[in-house]
Amino acid sequence: MDRKIVQNISVDCVILGFDSVEINVLLVERTLKNPDTDETIFSDLTLAGYHIFEDEDLDSAAARIVKDRTGLENISLKQFYSFGALDRLLHPNDQSWIKASNVIFSDRVVTIGYYSLLPSTNLEIMQNGNIVNWYPINGLKGLAYDHDVILQKAIEHLRHKFWHEPIGFELLPNKFTISQMQKLYEFILGTRFDKRNFRKKISQMSYVVPLKEKQKGVAHKPAQLFMFSKDIYDKTRKERFDFFV
């Protein structure tokens, strides 16, 4: 028995991965072809998203959609905003795609935004009939629907949380360098930190634990590795996390 979709509610997921240099977002290629000539009418990129089913809640829908679109499962997905602009589906490409889908959707669709933070882009992505790739978010434009707006809102949401919660460590590998950490925070926060002041700030964080290990297999002088200890953070944190350098 086919499951029925909710015509006016969808979920879109901003899946971010850090490759030690910059932050990337996982996007799905959307290509519409002429059914008679097989000629490409247009091709663009979307976030991992789709409508929810009548028999599932939002969190379950987000997990299903990510798995269906990318093959990723058991990743942490968190709601961050809802989007319901009157014109969010009115671009000609979007209208053409909807008409060609042979699925009845509402003229007005509200989508719930989710985000996920992954410490690597070296993950096995199952295409499942889709073309899915990582794209650097810096300068990324021209996504389908209002997905540019959704992506930007996700970054703004994370920017606030980065100042006041230690969620940045979710994007870092288990063992990381201070330079990697600085690049990540500069990228999300849209600022530059003085290297000396940044290292001084990190040295005051007892939960950023120095390891007796250094990088391996790098062309430059190997840097010392560190790890984030959630146990130490939980035991020593004050009322409010403060990342101001």
Amino acid 136: pLDDT: 95
Architecture, CATH, for domain 165-236: Orthogonal Bundle (1.10)
Amino acid 243: pLDDT: 60
Amino acid 163: pLDDT: 84
Amino acid 229: pLDDT: 93
Name the phi and psi angles at 166, rounded to 5.
-85, 40
Residue 75, amino acid = I
User: Can you tell me which residue has the tokens 């709601």?
Assistant: 79
182, 198 in Cβ contact below 8 A?
A: yes
User: Which pLDDT tens digit goes with each residue over 136-157?
Assistant: 998 899 999 999 999 999 999 9
Distance CA 65, CA 62 (A): 5
Query: Domain residue spans in the chain?
Result: 5-163, 165-236
19, 137 in Cβ contact below 8 A?
A: no
Q: Which CATH superfamily is domain 5-163 in?
A: Nucleoside Triphosphate Pyrophosphohydrolase (3.90.79.10)
Amino acid 242: pLDDT: 61
C-alpha torsion angle, residues 204, 208, 209, 215 (rounded to 10):
-120
Question: Exposed, middle or buried: residue 202 (CB in 10 Å: 0-12, 13-18, 19+)?
Answer: middle
User: Which pLDDT tens digit goes with each residue over 124-138?
Assistant: 887 777 899 999 998
43, 29 in Cβ contact below 8 A?
A: yes
Distance CA 183, CA 18 (A): 10
- In which residue ranges of the chain is pLDDT below 70? 1, 238-245
Residue 140, amino acid = L
Distance CA 49, CA 76 (A): 16
